[in-house]
A and B are shown apart, each in its own frame.
Chain A
């Protein structure tokens, strides 16, 4: 079957670093997306990893290990506005998105 696992909720402190993990099992795999979703809004694109390794984009970085079926999203210098849900989604062999349930990130002052 196809499955995406990520933690339900995480809490971190403003200015700190947090890593949100995601493991996946899909029938075929083409790449992995990370989206940010604020309450009541649609998801917004953060990153797309196809190859193994770390991709850095400002305060956000995303890592992929295809052999381990594992990815993480790293958020640095956390700001209060980073409080949101972070959705991990893998693309299967048909480029369909298989969604995780999302990780609610709570930032405390």
Chain B
């Protein structure tokens, strides 16, 4: 089956610093990648959708200058949380979809804690 990895699995950073999260499709080419955020006891919230080689499409209310998304290759997308604040602490999950595929394959998630 299709495998998606995320790195790191958890990270603690200080307020004001930036954190980069990587999402990789290991055995397929991901033409589209999705970034989600999930707060405790809440459902997934789509942050942005990115297609390889083009700018990401952000959902309403998500600051594109704060959450930088790069999808430079068919197997890698990165999410950078810039100038992180404690309220950015959350579970960040990526998913990837191949060309013509209907299913999104999820990474294991990254738990970010900003102190």
Residues of A within 8 A of B (CB): 30-31, 33, 40-45, 48, 87, 91, 95-97, 99-102
State the Cβ distance, B42 to closest chain A Cβ, in Å.
Answer: 7
State the Cβ distance, B63 to closest chain A Cβ, in Å.
Answer: 20
The answer to whether A101 touches B42 (Cβ under 8 A) is yes
For the complex, give the distance between the alpha carbons of A97 and B93 in Å: 14
| Interchain CB contact (< 8 A) of B43 among A40, A45, A87 | A87
* Contact pattern, B 73-115, Cβ under 8 Å of A = 1, otherwise 0: 0000000000000000001010001000011111111010000
Given contacts A41-B109, A42-B109, contact A102 B43 (CB under 8 A): yes
State the Cβ distance, B67 to closest chain A Cβ, in Å.
Answer: 18
For the complex, give the distance between the alpha carbons of A31 and B104 in Å: 13
The answer to whether A96 touches B49 (Cβ under 8 A) is yes
Task: Let me know if B46 is at the binding interface, CB within 8 A.
Answer: yes
* Contact pattern, B 30-60, Cβ under 8 Å of A = 1, otherwise 0: 0000100000001110100100000000000
State the Cβ distance, A35 to closest chain B Cβ, in Å.
Answer: 8
Given contacts A31-B102, A42-B106, A48-B103, 20 further A-B contacts (CB under 8 A): A30-B102, A40-B91, A41-B109, A42-B93, A42-B107, A42-B109, A43-B44, A43-B93, A43-B106, A44-B106, A45-B105, A48-B102, A87-B43, A91-B102, A95-B97, A95-B102, A97-B34, A99-B43, A100-B43, A101-B42
For the complex, give the distance between the alpha carbons of A45 and B102 in Å: 12
Closest 9 CB pairs of A and B: A101-B43, A42-B106, A42-B109, A102-B43, A42-B93, A42-B108, A99-B44, A43-B106, A99-B43
For the complex, give the distance between the alpha carbons of A33 and B105 in Å: 12
15 contacts between A and B (CB under 8 A): A31-B102, A42-B93, A42-B107, A42-B108, A43-B106, A45-B105, A87-B43, A91-B102, A95-B97, A97-B46, A99-B43, A99-B44, A100-B43, A101-B42, A101-B43
Given contacts A31-B102, A95-B102, A96-B49, contact A87 B108 (CB under 8 A): no
